[in-house]
A = this chain, B = another copy of it.
Amino acid sequence: MDFLSLFLIDFVKQLQSPTLAFLIGGMIIAALGSELVIPESICTIIVFMLLTKIGLTGGIAIRNSNLTEMVLPMIFAVMVGVLIVFISRFTLANLPKVKVVDALATGGLFGAVSGSTMAAGLTVLEEQKIPYEAWAGALYPFMDIPALVTAIVVANIYLNKKKHSAAAAHSTVQESLSKKAVAAGDYSDEQDYPSNRQEYLSQQQDPGDNRVKIWPIIEESLRGPALSAMLLGLALGILTQPESVYKSFYDPLFRGLLSILMLVMGMEAWSRIGELRKVAQWYVVYSVVAPFLHGLIAFGLGMVAHYATGFSMGGVVILAVIASSSSDISGPPTLRAGIPSANPSAYIGASTAVGTPVAIGLCIPFFIGLAQAIGGMSPLP
Report which A residues bind B (CB closer than 8 A): 15-18, 21-22, 25, 28-29, 32-42, 44-45, 48-49, 223-225, 228-229, 232, 235-236, 239-242, 244-245, 248-250, 252-253, 255-257, 259-260, 263
Give the interface centre of A35, A40, A235, A252 by most chain B CB atoms within 10 Å: A35
Residues in B whose Cβ lies below 8 Å from that of A232: 25, 29, 34, 36, 263
Q: List 8 A-B contacts (CB under 8 A).
A: A21-B241, A22-B236, A22-B245, A37-B225, A232-B263, A248-B255, A249-B256, A250-B256
Whether B48 lies near A18 (C-beta < 8 A) is no
Are A229 and B36 CB-contacts (below 8 A) given A236-B22, A236-B25? yes
Whether A44 lies near B44 (C-beta < 8 A) is no
Residues in B whose Cβ lies below 8 Å from that of A255: 244-245, 248-249
Residues in B whose Cβ lies below 8 Å from that of A224: 35
Q: With the chains together, A29 CA to B234 CA distance in Å?
A: 13
Are A34 and B240 CB-contacts (below 8 A) given A42-B45, A245-B18? no
Residues in B whose Cβ lies below 8 Å from that of A40: 39, 41
Whether A36 lies near B241 (C-beta < 8 A) is no
- Chain B residue at minimum C-beta to C-beta distance from A240: B21
- Chain B residue at minimum C-beta to C-beta distance from A225: B36
- Chain B residue at minimum C-beta to C-beta distance from A22: B236
Contacts A38-B45, A232-B263, A250-B256 known; 13 new A-B pairs at CB < 8 A: A16-B241, A18-B242, A18-B244, A21-B236, A32-B223, A33-B223, A34-B223, A36-B228, A39-B41, A48-B260, A244-B255, A249-B256, A253-B256
Residues in B whose Cβ lies below 8 Å from that of A15: 240
Residues in B whose Cβ lies below 8 Å from that of A32: 223
Give the interface centre of A17, A28, A42 by most chain B CB atoms within 10 Å: A42
Chain B's nearest CB lies how many Å from the CB of A374? 37
Whether B45 lies near A44 (C-beta < 8 A) is no
Residues in B whose Cβ lies below 8 Å from that of A42: 41-42, 44-45
Whether A16 lies near B240 (C-beta < 8 A) is yes
Residues in B whose Cβ lies below 8 Å from that of A17: 240-241
Q: With the chains together, A335 CA to B277 CA distance in Å?
A: 41
Give the interface centre of A34, A223, A224, A253 by most chain B CB atoms within 10 Å: A34
Q: With the chains together, A40 CA to B351 CA distance in Å?
A: 34
Give the interface centre of A17, A36, A252 by most chain B CB atoms within 10 Å: A36
Whether A249 lies near B245 (C-beta < 8 A) is no
Q: With the chains together, A28 CA to B225 CA distance in Å?
A: 14
Chain B's nearest CB lies how many Å from the CB of A238? 11
Whether A228 lies near B45 (C-beta < 8 A) is no
Chain B's nearest CB lies how many Å from the CB of A227? 9
Chain B's nearest CB lies how many Å from the CB of A59? 11
Chain B's nearest CB lies how many Å from the CB of A47? 10
Chain B's nearest CB lies how many Å from the CB of A53? 10
- Chain B residue at minimum C-beta to C-beta distance from A37: B225
Are A259 and B253 CB-contacts (below 8 A) given A21-B242, A236-B21? no
Residues in B whose Cβ lies below 8 Å from that of A228: 29, 34-36
Residues in B whose Cβ lies below 8 Å from that of A21: 236, 239-242
Residues in B whose Cβ lies below 8 Å from that of A44: 37-39, 42
Whether B39 lies near A225 (C-beta < 8 A) is no
